[in-house]
Amino acid sequence: MLEAYFLDAREHIWAEAKITKDLFGVENVAHMGRAIRPGVAFGMSVRPYDGAAQPAATHGRIERKSIQPPDRPARMHSDSLFHVDLAAIARNAAAFSRLVGPPTVCCGVVKSDAYGLGARPVAETLTQAGMSLVAVFRVEEALDLLSSPLGRPVLILGAVRSLCPMHPLMPSLASGDVQLVVHDLSQLKEIGAVATSLPGPIQVHVMVDAGMRRGGCPPSEAPQLIEAAMQMPGIGLAGLMTHFTSAGTDAAATRAEQAVFSEIVDRIGRLPEGCRVHAAATAATVRDPAYHQGMVRIGLGWVGCIPGDEALSAAFGSQLSPAVRWRSSLRHVHHVQEGHAIGYGQRWRAKRDTRVGIVPVGYADGIPLAAGACDGCEGARIAVVSSAGERIAGYATVIGAVSMDQIAIDLGDLPEVSAVEPGRAVEIISATHEGPTTLRNFAAACGITPHQLLASIGPRVRRVLVNREETVSQTEAWHPAAAV
């Protein structure tokens, strides 16, 4: 028996129920309470959510929360579940805090709804685990997080302009609960024009362009902008920052960009008390302690994944807990004869008689188009679970064109291929450190980054929040019906 909590973000309510099975065979939903509201997952009974933290998982019970993306119709399907492990995220946050050590602090990057995983629960988890700030890109994202009990500032990375004294962000700017990134002098002047009417200074971080050339001021203009921020009434300089172009793949380029940034910091000399210098995101944080400085910005790292070179990932990745898992099951299985083609465009033909399984997720759910094998390309692989549900039986290649709602996989190489029938559990992304279905490896097989894969998973895929005490290994007992 599992205790489940499903959040409908449009209604800001929680549904409670007792369930005995999940995606792979929902049989019982015993409602707790009477009030039923439309649009709630599974039509469960509900109670108001007061913002209090839900109880942590205990032995034999898993806390689960399913997030409905805001301002979207309730069109999630039950063909797959995307698990987000908050306990793993907390462990990863703590691991990075230990890596950098004081006085360096960590900022958790949760832009784009925490890469689609749910900005509010992820941000709460990161701050409770010790991160000192969280960062978003847009004003709207910051406003959404302000409704959560973070107790930490929110840093807006994008260039915020055209603020007015009545803007809903103003009280949080005055209190320091929201901080801004300044990219040029004209933006600073716009912020300063409204800052003088506030009871407290607006805290800003000056962004220096050391080579990315997508934001920030050129190095030649940086000293003037930094001095202006330190002297302007109503403005507090909380940080100096830059962003590396290739920290995960190019050590030489990263050193050169750091040198550009360091030269500017040295020219400024004494900075205001509390002003933090920061340049490193996840990859640079792992690459070299010299990049830690006053703060590091951790994005993909809290998911349990290190972007960039394999060697860089191996250096620290084993100390992290993979925090995401995407599960589905076979909807249909059929025989395909040698020479017969699969899917639109006949891009893949069987080189032998085989069995093909159909998984009911497609590009509308976030499966990359490049996942499918065709003549001349290998394709990504997904895990197929054993018939007893105790282990991974093997891996099956995605074949042919990825369709909107489904993919085909070649089951022919599985040792128990003749026994594979509809209903068998499969895993697209695994919460493991190795194998073709890790977040990193599945994304690489599709020719994209892990960030892009996560952010592309569609709103109709149900996100379920769980808390697990330890990372699941490939050999650990697998019980798909228990939704663990």
On the question of a common fold for 86-319 and 324-482, the answer reads no
Mean pLDDT on 15-33: 35
pLDDT for 433-484, tens place per residue? Answer: 999 999 999 999 999 999 999 999 999 999 999 997 754 433 333 333 233 2
Rg (CA), the chain: 24
Kindly indicate whether the domain formed by 86-319 is annotated with CATH number 1.10.760.10. no
Domain positions in the chain are: 2-75, 86-319, 324-482
- The single residue of 49, 115, 344, 395 carrying the catalytic annotation is 344
- Identify the CATH class of 324-482: mainly beta
What pLDDT is stored for residue 389 in this prediction?
66
What pLDDT is stored for residue 391 in this prediction?
78
- Greatest pairwise CA separation for the chain in angstroms: 76
Q: Does 289 have pLDDT greater than 90?
A: yes
Percent of the chain scoring above 90 in pLDDT:
72
State how far the Cα of 441 lies from the Cα of 407, in Å rounded to an integer.
18
Q: Residue 115 catalytic?
A: no
Q: What is the mean pLDDT of the chain?
A: 84
Task: Count other C-beta atoms under 10 Å from residue 327's C-beta.
Answer: 24
What pLDDT is stored for residue 71 in this prediction?
53
Apex CA 176: angle with CA 273 and CA 113, to 5°? 120
pLDDT for 406-432, tens place per residue? Answer: 999 999 999 877 888 999 999 999 999
pTM reported for the whole predicted model: 0.83
288 CA to centre of own chain? 24
